[in-house]
Amino acid sequence: MIWEKTTIGKHCTVTSSKRFHLSDRSDSGIPFYCSKEIIQKVNGQEVTDCDYIKEEAYEEVKKKFGVPECGDLLITTRGTYGIPYIYNAEDKFYFADGNLTWLKGFDDQLMAEFLYYWILSYEGQKKIDAIAKGTAQKAVPISLIKDIELSIPDVETQKNIANILKSYDDLIENNQNQIKLLEEVAQRIYKEWFVDLRFPGHEDVSIIDGVPEGWKKDKAENFFDITIGKTPPRAEKQWFVDGNTGVPWLSISDMGNSGVYAFATSEGLTQEAVKKHNMKVVPSGTIFVSFKLTVGRVSIATTDMCTNEAIAHFYTDDDFKQAYTYCYLSNFEYDTLGNTSSISKAVNSKIIKAMPFVMPNESTILAFDRLVDPILNEIKNKQATCIKLKEARDRLLPKLMNGKIEA
């Protein structure tokens, strides 16, 4: 089979968005995404915190210049660059120029779906990395994306390749949707029991100072062993390795990509780094809470891990408290901890350790655990399934893209 060498710009329009003034921003309206939100969507996560532009401003741009349509391809080009996303029929958002590059108007020789998977391939990532500019925060220029070279087969083969790989992504998406539903069930039970205080037997329990009789309210550090992570000197690169090879070293970004359970980290630390810098390695089941910059991300360790200094570790020997603790920390209003307009500047390790924590009596927690722990375990299993499917897809991807396996 003959694969034709070509460039991306020969087969589609490579452009970006129109710039909006601050006066066009709004508290509601059309979601206005940057790279972060696209990455969340790629990871199957719901975007709950983003900027907005006014509906009328969006409609004006749509009329004059057009907006992304179903089948268009977006690529993150600032910060975490090289992440592709295909705009689908349910989407309705606009995006910040410079953060995303917009590929539209594909001709009949290159399929957007094939290009999507080519960008995910090792070759695609390597070529995008090669044209990234900058030091502190790299960005990928639109003009250079147009000139990226790739080899493409005939359209029918492109379609077959895309369909094979998409079958894995469809299974991943199906599992991600089930994970969302399961977490909603767990959180709904938590809110009924511990926010609305309609737990089993609530009719016969008195409320004293806002807390059911027999429950305890105290500083979190009086219920948990709370420790804080740290970062070895960044200039000493010998301490840092790939997350798959060293001791997993969790970042806030990793937490944003992980979901309920933290399985993987983008970076790891050597055993020498852990020993020399006295890194706190916490066991599986420890609950992580981010308390700097992005405050309030919560996830559960699936293996021995360490973290950076922006993450607190909540550990208890009582496994039956894990489900309740996860839900409590996920629902806690962290902005109540700060006394300035910027919560990211207000919360420190002393505050997070002293945060108020309500611990129900043991019988109530055990009853909750019997209901919710199986739900969390199902989420854990489905997250693990998604990881295996991604690994299988990624092993197949280069073989299809270089023609070693015929589609």
Chain Cα centroid distance, residue 268:
18
- CATH 2.40.128 applies to domain 154-202+360-406: no
The answer for residues whose C-beta is within 8 angstroms of residue 75's C-beta and 6 or more apart is: 81, 82, 83, 84, 85, 100, 101, 103, 119, 128, 140, 145
What number does CATH give the domain 216-359? Answer: 3.90.220.20
- pLDDT at position 340 is 44
Query: Quick one: fold of 4-152?
Result: Adenine-n6-DNA-methyltransferase TaqI; Chain A, domain 2 (3.90.220)
- Given this model, what pLDDT does residue 45 score? 82
Quick check: 133 and 81 in contact, CB under 8 A? no
Sign for the pseudo-dihedral over CA of 84, 87, 93, 97: positive
What does pLDDT average to in each consecutive run of 10 residues of the chain (407 residues)?
92 93 88 92 86 93 94 93 95 91 96 97 95 86 94 96 97 95 98 97 93 96 97 94 93 91 95 96 97 92 96 96 98 81 65 97 97 98 97 94 78
Delimit the domains of the chain by residue range.
4-152, 154-202+360-406, 216-359
The residue type found at 140 is: V
In contact, 357 and 218? CB cutoff 8 Å: yes
CA dihedral 62, 63, 69, 75 (to 10 degrees): -50
pLDDT at 407: 66
Residue 204 identity (one-letter amino acid): D
Q: Which H/E stretch holds residue 246? A: none
Residues 6+ apart with CB under 8 A from 126: none
Domains 4-152 and 216-359 share a fold: yes
Q: Residues 314, 224: contact at Cβ < 8 Å?
A: yes
